[in-house]
Structure 1
Amino acid sequence: MEILINYLQQFGNLNSQQIELIKSKVTSRKTTKEEFYHEAGKIPNEIIFLTEGIMRVCYYNHKGDEITKYFLSENNFLADINSYNQEIPSTEYIQAITNCEYFVLSRQAMKELSATIIQWDQIIAKITAKGLADKVNRISPMMTENAKERYENFLNSFPSANKIPLSYVASYLGITQSSLSRIRKDITL
């Protein structure tokens, strides 16, 4: 639980009473490897903070191809923020790549924390802004890089890449699995 509290405190100061309130609202959960934490078509009613493992966010395009949008590793919040905020069905799936452990904040818990902790909404806004900036910083370079550069940068920015199936990495990078195999072979030579 301390890892979550330490993360939150990077975005705002919390006193001991507020920390205890947060701890009382958080539950702990696990999802096993390859299990879907969330499925498209459902309205997300919670936000999670991943403490162990790797998850991926994916969707199906108009051709029915599964596309990996991004990966998330430990010490990050995860939610389909648009669907969560608007309370509309999500178009994305969230799947555990490895066995995962995480803390859960339900929609009700978030409302109660917002009503009780004065700076809660500011803390969440800062975390959301950081998440969006990280997303832009991840996507923008991929628009101008070739496949080899995208893969090398992915390896540098995602230390746990060796735990992710190649088909998911290829989908994320926007290349075929055979192209990724060639790139990996060239890099290891």
Structure 2
Amino acid sequence: MDKLTDFITYYCELSTELLESVQQKFVFRTVAADTILLKKGQVCGELAINLHGAFRLFALDESGKDTTTWLAFEDTLVIEPASFLTRQPSRYYIQALEKSEMAIIKHEDLQQLYTAIPGFQAFGRKLMEEVLVGIMCRATSLLLDTPQQRYDRLLESPMYMQRVPLKYLASFIGITPTSLSRLRGRKRL
């Protein structure tokens, strides 16, 4: 509960009583590595806070090509934002990369809390602002940065190299696994 408390209070200020009301709407879940939490065609009905673990958001094209579009580590959201916000079927999958622990709130419960506790609306607004900025930075990087620059940015956070399989990292930075091997080889020289 402490990590959930810290997460919520980072984004909004609530009295102890209101914070307890919010926390009561969350359930805690542990999932095994490789668990698929959301499949293409499903509506993302839950907002999950990653308390411990690693997740990826990915898409499969018609040929079955797997493209990792987002990686989530501790103290971040595990969500497919377009589906969650619009209530439309997702085009993506969410997968746990390792045994992970989450605090989860249903979309309906979150909406009820926004209505019942106006100060809690800051939580959702600030979270979605953070998600939007992250998405924009990622899109800009894929459009303007070289694969080498994207790889170098991954190296700044060792958790990527330590916790994400190389085939997913290659996809995440928009290159083939063979190209990633070349980039890694150049760094060793």
Per the TM superposition, whether the score is higher than 0.5 is: yes
Cα distance in 2, alignment partners of residues 128 and 38 from structure 1: 19
Q: How far off its partner does 1:39 sit?
A: 0.8
Which deviates more from structure 2 when the two are superposed, residues 61-70 or residues 175-184?
61-70
Which deviates more from structure 2 when the two are superposed, residues 84-93 or residues 112-121?
112-121
Cα distance in 2, alignment partners of residues 6 and 41 from structure 1: 33
Aligned to 1:187: 187
Aligned to 2:8: 8
Aligned to 1:156: 156
Write out aligned runs for 1:119-158 (5 A): 119-157=119-157
Cα distance in 2, alignment partners of residues 92 and 178 from structure 1: 25
The number of equivalent residue pairs is 189
Cα-to-partner distance string for 1:102-157 (whole Å, 9 max, x where unaligned)? 00001232123122211222320111101211222233233222222211112214
Contact 2:34–2:98 (8 Å) recurs in 1: yes
Q: How far off its partner does 1:62 sit?
A: 4.2
Residue aligned with 1:88, SS: coil
Q: How far off its partner does 1:162 sit?
A: 1.6
* Divergent runs of 4+, >4 A: none
TM-score when normalising by structure 2: 0.93
Contact 2:51–2:102 (8 Å) recurs in 1: yes
Cα-to-partner distance string for 1:41-88 (whole Å, 9 max, x where unaligned)? 111111100011110000012443111101010001222122112211
Aligned to 1:59: 59
Cα distance in 2, alignment partners of residues 135 and 86 from structure 1: 17
Write the letter of the residue equivalent to 1:82: A
Residue aligned with 1:125, SS: helix
Aligned to 1:21: 21
Aligned to 1:117: 117
Cα distance in 2, alignment partners of residues 160 and 2 from structure 1: 25
Closer, same or farther: CA 145–81 of 1 in aligned 2, 3 Å: closer
Which deviates more from structure 2 when the two are superposed, residues 64-73 or residues 137-146?
137-146
Write the letter of the residue equivalent to 2:61: N
- Unpaired runs of 5+ residues, structure 2, are none
Cα distance in 1, alignment partners of residues 178 and 17 from structure 2: 55
Task: Calculate the aligned-residue CA RMSD, in Å.
Answer: 1.5
Q: Percent identity?
A: 23
Cα distance in 1, alignment partners of residues 158 and 48 from structure 2: 20
Aligned to 1:74: 74
TM-score when normalising by structure 1: 0.93
Cα distance in 2, alignment partners of residues 87 and 161 from structure 1: 34
